[in-house]
Amino acid sequence: MNTSQPLISIVVPVYNEDEVLLEFHETVIKVMSELPVYLEIVYINDGSVDNTLKLINDLRNKDKRITLVDLSRNFGKEIALSAGLHKAAGDAVVVIDADLQDPPELIPRLIKEWENGYDVVYAKRTRRGGESFLKKTTAHFFYRLIQRIGKISIPEDTGDFRILSRRAVSALNTFKEQHRFMKGLFAWIGFKQKAVHYQRDARRAGESKWNYWHLWNFALDGITSFTIAPLKISTYIGLITALGAFGYGIYMLIDTLLHGNDVAGYPSLIVIILMLGGTQLVAIGILGEYLGRIFNETKQRPLYFINEYLPSELAAEKQLDNSKQ
Ligand code: UDP
Ligand code: MG
């Protein structure tokens, strides 16, 4: 191995992608063959139930630059990605989706910026093709919200598609949390970051594994793992409601003393009860969201299990070198 050339790992979480995987692989190989770098492609099979695993194995038999990490079941993209980052051997690591929504053609530009000394170079989309109006607006709203209430700024219109320097990867590998909102963690580690702009296409084939329920949970993870603002907000809502109720109570008392009370007061009573009940339920719900996550984290379970791990040739060489030291 010529040490003047860097080793680039391309980390790809895959879940039921047999329709696009070959096209994706060919595109990546084609793009990368024009660059003066060593290549490793890390495919993390995230418990696919279609032909994906077989396809990866076939590819690997022909090309020893491929690393296969076969997880023991479906763990979700964020965990699959983490598994890939743990195993990637490269001097820099590119994170990319298998569905060709992240154009591999952009990788040379990411690598160039990394060579210019940036630790995290993320791809920022200028347009979202093939996505519904609702998904676009909810995504937009979510980024604005997390920017506003979180203490870190997560770049908007950015997916996971990016290049990470070795020290950025090492930083990410120290995170032990179960609920990992990768986009947030990428921003959280800091270092020198830069955006590269591109236009995003619709998925080439297969279908998105995200539905609104997933997106909602994703958003909850994003918010609860980066800010405790909702807890504070619920405190203030509670405070305001209590003050309001106190003021109203005094008013009622004076009013009754001055004018007496003719009606039974049912409307005001029911309004107050409902209002207080509702506020309390919301506050308890917010507490529950955090409590549930604390519960999950305190179990300190391993993030994932690996069914089979077949390192690429260069990754195996590096591990050998490391174990000799
Ligand atoms: N993915 C995964 N595990 C999952 C769901 C998705 O590894 O449980 C992979 C999927 O194969 C793809 C990437 O994560 O490479 C992005 O998934 P998808 O295109 O469904 O997400 P979207 O682009 O809609 O955000
Ligand atoms: Mg996609």
Q: Is the CB–ligand 1 distance for residue 47 below 6 Å?
A: no
The Cα–Cα gap between 223 and 201 comes to 27
First and final CA of the chain: distance in angstroms?
18
The structural domain count of the chain equals 2
pLDDT of 2: 59
Whether residues 130 and 238 share a domain: the answer is no
pLDDT of 276: 79
The Cα–Cα gap between 173 and 83 comes to 9
Q: Whose Cα sits closest to atom 2 in ligand 1?
A: 77
Whether residues 188 and 141 share a domain: the answer is yes
Whether residues 150 and 199 share a domain: the answer is yes
Whether residues 125 and 29 share a domain: the answer is yes
pLDDT of 82: 93
pLDDT of 171: 93
Whether residues 11 and 157 share a domain: the answer is yes
> Mutation test of ligand 1: which of 11, 24, 97, 180 has the most ligand atoms closer than 8 Å to its C-beta?
97
pLDDT of 306: 93
pLDDT of 232: 76
Q: Which two tokens mark 208?
A: 């998105």
DSSP-assigned beta bridge partners for residue 274: none
What is the pTM assigned to this prediction? Answer: 0.73
Q: What is the CA radius of gyration of the chain?
A: 25
- For the chain (325 residues), the mean pLDDT of every run of 10, in chain order, is 82 92 93 91 94 93 92 93 93 92 90 93 76 75 74 76 94 86 84 84 63 79 77 78 80 81 70 77 80 80 90 82 69
DSSP-assigned beta bridge partners for residue 169: none
Question: Which of the 8 DSSP states describes residue 104?
Answer: G
pLDDT of 12: 96
Structural domain for 262, as ranges: 229-299
Whether residues 189 and 312 share a domain: the answer is yes
pLDDT of 127: 62
Would you put residue 128 in left (φ > 0), alpha (ψ -120 to 50) or beta?
A: beta
Q: Is 323 among the domain residues?
A: no
